[in-house]
Structures are given as C-alpha cells and as structure tokens.
Amino acid sequence: MLALIGGTGAGQPANLQVTRRLVVRTPYGDPSGALTFGEVAGRPVVFIARHGYGHTIPPHLINYRANIWALTQQPVTHIVAIASVGGIRTDMGPGTLVIPDQIIDYTWGRKQTMFEVGEHPVTHVDFTEPYSGDLRSALLDAARQSRVSVVDGGTYACTQGPRLETAAEICRIQRDGGDMVGMTGMPEAVLAREVGVPYATLAVVSNWAAGQQDSQRGVVFSAASGVFEAAMMRANSVLEALVLTGV
C-alpha cells in the first residue's frame, strides 16, 4: 500500500475516497494526526497531513519519527511525500513539479534517528542517495503516463523554519548547490531510510525563493493566482497514475 504525506497547501488529495481514519499511538509520541485510509483509482492508500489537519504544527515541531513509525505499522510498501518548496534554479518557477534526487540539511535540533542512545546500538545508515531510485523512476513514469511535465532531479535544501529565508541565505544555498528550498524534507527522508521503506518526494514550487526572479522585493506565493492549485491538480494526476502501477 502506498503512503502519502501531505505538506503546506497539499492537504488530503482530492481524488482520495476516504474509507476510515485511525488514531495511532507510537513509542515516539503522537503523530501529526490520525491516519486517513482510502482509495485512489480503486487502490488502497493511507495519508497523513504532516502539519496536522488544521495546519497548526510548524516544521520544526513536527513529530517526524511518530509520523513515519505510524505509517510503517500499516502494510505500507512505499512513501511519497508531497512538499511545497521555493524555487531557486531558473527552471523551477512557481507551479513547477520537481522530483528531487538529493538533499542538503540545514536544520538543527530535530530528532534525526529512530535509534536512541541506550536503547539500540548506534546505527549508521547509508544516505548517499537519499531518495529511492526505483520510486523516483516510478514517479517519472507516472508523470509521463499522465502527460504531466516534471523536472527530473534537483537538490532539496531543508531549512529550519518556520520563518522564510533571507536573500543572503538563499544565495548561500545556491552556492552550496541547492535548487529548491523547503522546511520538511529532513529528517523525514532519513527516518524512512532507517525503517527500510522506499521514500521519494514530489515537490510543488509555490514561489520563488527570497531574492530570486520576481521576489527581490519579498516572497510572493502563487496560491493567490491559482498557479499552485493548478500544480496540485497535476500532482494528483501523477499520484493517481503511480497508484495504478501497483506501487
């Protein structure tokens, strides 16, 4: 069964036919909310809103460990995270869909591992390729099947939040090789790696990052113009095509 994690602006998928909800308790505390089970194109899917269903949990306070643990206690085979990001690279303007292949982590103080000192042996996971190559390929195939344009690859820079970045910080991220910026990509990706579930991100660009393109005078979100909403509709088409492949 495919698990979906929704982020800012990416609430419960419109094409998800809900069948039930389940409150889960975890060894790491409460997840962001109940798990929502349903069907997309007749296939089973489970969904969780990482910011909570009222969008009340800021990025640095999300219980990523509880969310991942709760999902993986279900018969989940793959996890796709839908993430809202700011575009840095010139081909990643508002409304663009991106399937990133790398991460730079600028966060601090977040619980980065399921294996706490004293409870488990020290565990070092290979994170050379932070996203599942097979799942990324499946997402790219799904985009082609649904005739939706996506950018193949790019580096997701994860910042602490909840404030947006300064123009100088975005310049630094750009020099480091970051192509888009978000606040929730880590430690979500590494926790999925620790529990052995293939994980990939479908990023939706909501705005130019600070100081880029038309944001020199301040960040302008695309939601007001309907660009982000249209992009989310395309993202849902990709996810539906992915589900139909049997992932």
Residues annotated within a binding site for substrate:
183, 207-209
Separation in Å, CA 220 to CA 85, 189, 205: 12, 28, 12
d(CA 87, CA 215): 10
Residue positions forming the annotated binding site for phosphate: 8, 50-51, 184
Residues 200-224: b if buried by 16+ CB within 10 A, e if exposed: bbbbbbbbbbbbbeebeeebebbbe
133 sits in which H/E element: helix 133-145
Q: Say how many C-beta atoms besides its own lie within 10 A of residue 116's C-beta.
A: 11
Are 197 and 76 in contact by the 8 Å Cβ rule? The answer is yes
Give the list of residues 6+ apart from residue 30 with CB closer than 8 angstroms, or none: 63, 66
CB-side neighbour CA atoms (13 Å) of 73? 14
Residue set of the binding site: 8, 50-51, 183-184, 207-209
Whole-number Cα distances in Å, 130 to 111, 115, 220: 17, 18, 30
CA distance 38 to 45: 5
What are residue 191's phi and psi, to 5 degrees? -65, -40
